Structure 1
Amino acid sequence: MPIGIIGAGAIGQALAGRFVAAGEQVVISNSRGPRSLRGLASSMGPGLRPATVGESADEEIVVLAVPWRRLREAVAAADVPDWQERIVIDTTNPLGPPDFEAAALGGRTSSELVSDLVQGARLVKAFNTLTPDVLGADPRTPAGRRVIFLSGNHAGANERIARLAGRVGWAAVDLGPLASGGRLQQFPGGPLPTLNLLMEP
């Protein structure tokens, strides 16, 4: 089944490029509508289809790749009352323009707050620790495969995203539940963001 991506900024485009290169079908959307994504689709080929936010959210796996301050707006635009066991991949970090101040999280991880927004979903935190240029590069290198960290409260969802990452070429490392693993991944505050690690073959 296609992968839905909500957000066509640097992270959304990097992931779309890697998924399409691995033979996955991607349905991508942004706040400006499908027409604004025609050029991107033309450059990536038939594996990428521009769509509405609602259409991206209809897929079984949905990637949230929007700035933190626009997250609620993006979820509202998806208009999904119950995410019904979809796997939602949270790539966000709790800060952003214009001031880049860290959001107040009340002692929780950012992904626990995101999980509250997508009721019924199985949320997996992933793809948030690398810069877009590194994330969009070929994950297979002569020295090994680039490491992707993930965490989530549903073991089956974690395993499925780990398998997806493996098909693309990344080496997935499952950090466990959001309360612990998500804290390690979180930026700012966690020790893992910006670490560009390789796993030997």
Structure 2
Amino acid sequence: MKYAIIGFGKLGQALARAFARSGIEVSVATTRDPQDFAAVAAAIGPGIAPATLTQAIKADIIFLAVRFESHRDVAKALANWEGKILIDVTNAYGVPPEDLGGQPSSTVIAQAFTGARLVKGFNHLVAGVLDQDPAIQGGKRVVFLASDDEAAAGEVATLAENLGFSPIRLGGLAEGGLLVQARGNNWGPLIFKDLVKFD
């Protein structure tokens, strides 16, 4: 299984550090030349591989960690995303609901990434919190996942566990997904909730 993170700002770097802590290799890409951020990737860990967008989209599971407004630019990189699991880490805060056709932002992204198996996840925590070790006082930091594809959600839940998090599945995008999505200038009720699960 190959992994990639598209977007290497604060959120992308926080995700990369989660991979580095767990010793799992991941490609990181932006629309820029990989040499532009190679030093930052190297500082995070040896398993963090700078890549071009063309290289990164060859991964099986891809984190979309760009600004919501930039998702269509990334979607153009492949005519068909069939076989890929796309983890939507974006937040459409400030985007008028009418611009989304009244749909959840993840549904709009799923439509742009034709054929992708989309899972909303890892977006409810700010980068500074996601950046921290998820192991806390004997518990694990929670990440919420929502998807209309149960099998894809299951694969992402396994990855979340391998990265040290405790995944909680919220159901489909139109139900549970709305709990972790911005609507206009309002945040979903689970956004920013920093929870820890103890076994």
Band of TM-score, shorter chain:
over 0.9
Q: Runs of 4 or more off by more than 6 Å in structure 1? A: none
After TM superposition, give the deviation of residue 20 of structure 1 in Å: 1.9
1:151 aligned to which of 146, 160, 178: 146
Amino acid at match of 2:165: W
Amino acid at match of 2:83: E
Amino acid at match of 2:198: E
- Which residue is 1:43 aligned to? 43
Taking the aligned partners of 2:112 and 2:39, their CA distance within structure 1 comes to 31
Give the unaligned 5+ runs of structure 2: none
Please give the TM-score of this superposition, normalised by the length of structure 2. 0.93
- Which residue is 1:88 aligned to? 86
SS in structure 2 at match of 1:178: coil
After TM superposition, give the deviation of residue 43 of structure 1 in Å: 0.4
Matched positions, count: 194
SS in structure 2 at match of 1:157: helix
Q: Are residue 178 (structure 1) and residue 173 (structure 2) matched?
A: yes
Q: Are residue 66 (structure 1) and residue 61 (structure 2) matched?
A: no
Taking the aligned partners of 2:181 and 2:86, their CA distance within structure 1 comes to 17
Please give the TM-score of this superposition, normalised by the length of structure 1. 0.92
Q: Are residue 167 (structure 1) and residue 167 (structure 2) matched?
A: no
After TM superposition, give the deviation of residue 86 of structure 1 in Å: 0.7
Give the unaligned 5+ runs of structure 1: 96-100
Q: Are residue 102 (structure 1) and residue 98 (structure 2) matched?
A: no
Amino acid at match of 2:65: A
Q: Are residue 117 (structure 1) and residue 112 (structure 2) matched?
A: yes
Taking the aligned partners of 2:84 and 2:73, their CA distance within structure 1 comes to 19
CA RMSD of aligned residues (A): 1.2
- Which residue is 1:195 aligned to? 193
